[in-house]
Structure formats: C-alpha cells, structure tokens
C-alpha cells in the first residue's frame, strides 16, 4: 500500500533518487494556487517538468492521457522516472493511470489538494479514465509510492469543493463508523470538508478496508455506497452539460440507497435523509429515467439485469452485493410518466 507522509517526508524520499527524471501534473487551478507552495517545500522537485491539464471530469480522457505520455516519451522519461500528481481526483486518476501503464509502470506520488482526493481518490490505488460520459471505464489498481496530506492546500479550496469531499466523508462514516457520522452531522458540509481530524479518520477507515481487499473483490465494494445511482447521475450531467460535482451526485445516490435499505431503522433513515436533503440539491426531475438506467446498465458492478447496491443495515454498518431489480428501483425513484 501507499505510505502517507508529509511534504517533508516526500522531499526526503525523492532526494534518494536525484537522477530520476521527475514531472508534476497539475491542472490550471493547482498551477495557480498550489504549485508554488509545493515547490517552496519540496526542493527535490525544483527541476521537475510541469504538465498542465484542463480542469474537471471532462478531461479524464484517453486524449489527456496520450498528451501526457507523449510528452514523457519526448523528454526521455524512462521506467525509473517519477510522476507527481498535484490536484484533485481527476489529476490523481490520470497520474495513476499513466503511472500504471507508461513503460509498464513508473512510480507515482500523490499530493491531493481537494478534500475529495484526500479522503478517497488519491488513496487505495484505483485509477481510471472515462469513456465518453461514462465514468471510470478503464483503469488499474496500482498503489502510488507515497500520498502526501497537507491540509493547508484546502485554504484556497472553494466551499463547494469542500462540500463535494464532505459527501465522500459522510459515505465513509455511514458504511463503517456510526459515532463519526453523528459527530459529523453536528457540522455543515463545508465544515466537515475542511476538518483535518475528520479527514484523517476517513482516510484511516478507507485504508483499513483497502488493506483487507485491495482488488475490490469483496468488502472494498462498500466504498461504493451511493455510487450506483450517483455515477449514472454524474454521467448524465456530463452529457447534458449540467454543472455537477461527483459528491453532489453521490449525495443523491446515497439518499436513494437509503430508501432501498429495507433493514435500516426508519428513525436512522430519517436522520440521514434530513441532513442530505437540507444541504444538497436532490431533485431528480431534470434527469431522464431511460438515460439513468442506460448508464446504470453500463456499470461494471451490475450483472444479469439486476443492479448491484451497497445498502445500510444501520448507520455505520453496510452490506455489499445487494441485488436490486429494475422494478424496485423504479418504485424508489418514483419517476413520473417514464418507463424504466
Ligand atoms: N472509491 C472507491 C474505492 O476506492 O474503492
């Protein structure tokens, strides 16, 4: 698994290979707000090549990937080279993908600058690219060497991005830690998304799960709570040009996964649903149900015409591999005048 270090620890590790070629992948946000901070703290990266990609999920493509590997090849990067991601989940996913494939694998170093990337995208080794609007269709599980957590990067993060990460944090608590969830909902999503203690607790929960099931064959699937519907909504949003972040889609997905969680006590359901509906836009009327199920049918986790859900037994306890039929889904989503 990856090691979790400070920027100072990263500097020491990179200094051990002074002759390795180094590149830092940024997007325009991290180029403007984070790169100078990184370079002021990590002198081992002073000579690194800087590769800038576009901001946002629509750039998590084969084309972006090709532009990076062509540049690495042009500059003579070999299999001992080192690739650093400075950014959110799109940057860490692309760097992970490049690191898994270029020269059959080079070392990667993740410096997540968003809450979401700190608690989820940068850790656990999963990386992916989208095909068209469909999320995460090709990818690898390959661990970065080091993930650096420096919450000072969150100081320049917009409130909406903190909320975005807070959803993955709430998800983590909902599947595994009841006390943490109750503690979190004493706060607004923005406060959750900038709280270092909550961030570190969520990272630990995720790492404990990944350690037991790195290749997503069993309990790691719990981390997909809220994502079965959430990914489909996110894909439709990319297609329709609706401005929606991953966490905002997962918040909707969690709401409906809770509806489907038939064993969960109603009072607990109501607590979670109240918090989500008070803080996130969960209206579904702008989505076409057929589109939604088309995207859900493309989900890697579904089989035999049934959807594969993670459901909650109670707050802090989840079960993976729960089959849900199209009819059940239709009932829960309650779409008017639309066929599944
Ligand atoms: N984001 C889910 C996982 O890493 O398994």
Question: Can you tell me whether residue 195 is helix, strand or coil?
Answer: coil
Residue 300 has pLDDT above 90, yes or no: no
Residue 302 has pLDDT above 70, yes or no: no
- Find out whether 48 and 31 touch, Cβ atoms under 8 Å: no
The best mutation among 206, 217, 226, 253 to test binding of ligand 1, ranked by most ligand atoms within 8 Å of the C-beta, falls on: 206
Amino acid 329: pLDDT: 87
Atom nearest to 216 CA in ligand 1: 5
Distance of alpha carbon 316 from alpha carbon 265, whole angstroms? 12
Amino acid 288: pLDDT: 77
Residue bearing the CA closest to ligand 1, atom 3: 223
- pTM for the structure as a whole: 0.93
For residue 251, what are the CA distances in angstroms to 51, 150, 229, 256? 32, 26, 10, 9
Least confident interval from 179-188, 205-214, 231-240, 308-317: 231-240
Distance of alpha carbon 267 from alpha carbon 264, whole angstroms? 9
Atom nearest to 224 CA in ligand 1: 2
Q: Quick one: pLDDT band at residue 332, thresholds 50, 70, 90?
A: confident
Mean pLDDT of 104-109: 98
Q: Quick one: pLDDT band at residue 294, thresholds 50, 70, 90?
A: confident
User: Does 198 or 237 have the greater pLDDT score?
Assistant: 198
Amino acid 89: pLDDT: 96
Neighbours of 40 (CB within 10 A): 10
Atom nearest to 220 CA in ligand 1: 5
The best mutation among 96, 124, 226, 301 to test binding of ligand 1, ranked by most ligand atoms within 8 Å of the C-beta, falls on: 124
Calculate how far, in angstroms, residue 220's C-alpha sits from the geometric centre of ligand 1.
7
Distance of alpha carbon 223 from alpha carbon 175, whole angstroms? 8
Calculate how far, in angstroms, residue 65's C-alpha sits from the geometric centre of ligand 1.
21
Amino acid 60: pLDDT: 95
- Find out whether 260 and 324 touch, Cβ atoms under 8 Å: yes
Amino acid 340: pLDDT: 37
Q: For residue 129, which of 104, 161, 102, 95 has the smallest C-alpha distance?
A: 95
Residue bearing the CA closest to ligand 1, atom 2: 223
The best mutation among 223, 234, 249, 254 to test binding of ligand 1, ranked by most ligand atoms within 8 Å of the C-beta, falls on: 223
Ligand 1 binding pocket includes 220 (Cβ within 6 Å): yes
Calculate how far, in angstroms, residue 127's C-alpha sits from the geometric centre of ligand 1.
9
Least confident interval from 14-18, 199-203, 292-296, 299-303: 299-303
Q: Quick one: pLDDT band at residue 338, thresholds 50, 70, 90?
A: very low
Ligand 1 binding pocket includes 120 (Cβ within 6 Å): yes
Amino acid 37: pLDDT: 96
Mean pLDDT of 294-302: 73
Amino acid 326: pLDDT: 84
> 91-104 pLDDT, tens per residue?
999 999 999 999 99
Amino acid 240: pLDDT: 84
Atom nearest to 125 CA in ligand 1: 4
Amino acid 304: pLDDT: 66
Q: 167: buried, middle or exposed (CB in 10 Å: 19+, 13-18, 0-12)?
A: buried
CA dihedral (336, 229, 324, 273) positive or negative = negative
> 43-101 pLDDT, tens per residue?
999 999 999 999 988 899 999 999 999 999 999 999 999 999 999 999 999 999 999 99
Neighbours of 208 (CB within 10 A): 11
Ligand 1 binding pocket includes 124 (Cβ within 6 Å): yes
Ligand 1 binding pocket includes 227 (Cβ within 6 Å): no
Ligand 1 binding pocket includes 60 (Cβ within 6 Å): no
Atom nearest to 121 CA in ligand 1: 1
Pairing of strands 49-53, 107-112: unpaired
């Amino acid at each position: 698994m990856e090691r979790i270090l400070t920027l100072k620890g990263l500097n020491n590790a990179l200094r051990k290979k002074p002759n390795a070629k180094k590149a830092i992948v940024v997007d325009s946000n991290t180029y403007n707000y984070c790169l100078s901070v990184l370079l002021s703290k990590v002198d081992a990266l002073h000579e690194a090549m800087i590769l800038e990609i576009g901001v946002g999920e629509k750039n998590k493509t084969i084309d972006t990937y090709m532009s990076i590997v062509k540049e690495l090849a042009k500059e003579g990067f070999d299999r001992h080279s080192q690739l650093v991601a400075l950014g959110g989940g799109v940057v860490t996913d692309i760097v992970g993908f490049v690191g898994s494939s270029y020269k059959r694998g080079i070392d990667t170093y993740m410096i997540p600058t968003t809450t979401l990337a700190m608690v989820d995208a940068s850790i656990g080794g999963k990386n992916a690219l989208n095909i068209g609007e469909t999320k995460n269709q090709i990818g690898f599980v390959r661990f970065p060497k080091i993930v650096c957590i420096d919450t000072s990067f969150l100081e320049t993060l917009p409130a909406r991005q903190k909320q975005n990460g807070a959803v993955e944090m709430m998800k983590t608590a909902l599947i595994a830690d009841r006390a943490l969830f109750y503690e979190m909902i004493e706060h607004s999503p923005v406060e959750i998304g900038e709280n270092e203690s909550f961030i570190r607790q969520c990272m630990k929960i995720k790492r404990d799960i990944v350690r037991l099931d790195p290749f997503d064959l069993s309990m790691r699937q719990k981390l997909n709570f809220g994502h079965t519907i959430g990914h489909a909504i996110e894909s439709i949003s990319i297609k329709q040009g609706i401005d929606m972040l991953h966490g905002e889609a997962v918040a909707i997905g969690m709401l409906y996964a809770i509806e489907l969680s038939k064993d969960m006590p109603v009072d607990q359901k109501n607590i979670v649903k109240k918090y989500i509906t008070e803080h996130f836009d969960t209206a579904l009327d702008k989505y076409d149900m057929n589109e939604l199920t088309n995207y859900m049918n493309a989900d890697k986790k579904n089989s035999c015409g049934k959807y594969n859900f993670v459901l909650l037994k109670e707050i802090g306890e989840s079960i993976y591999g729960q089959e849900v039929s199209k009819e059940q889904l239709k009932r829960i989503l309650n779409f008017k005048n639309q066929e599944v």
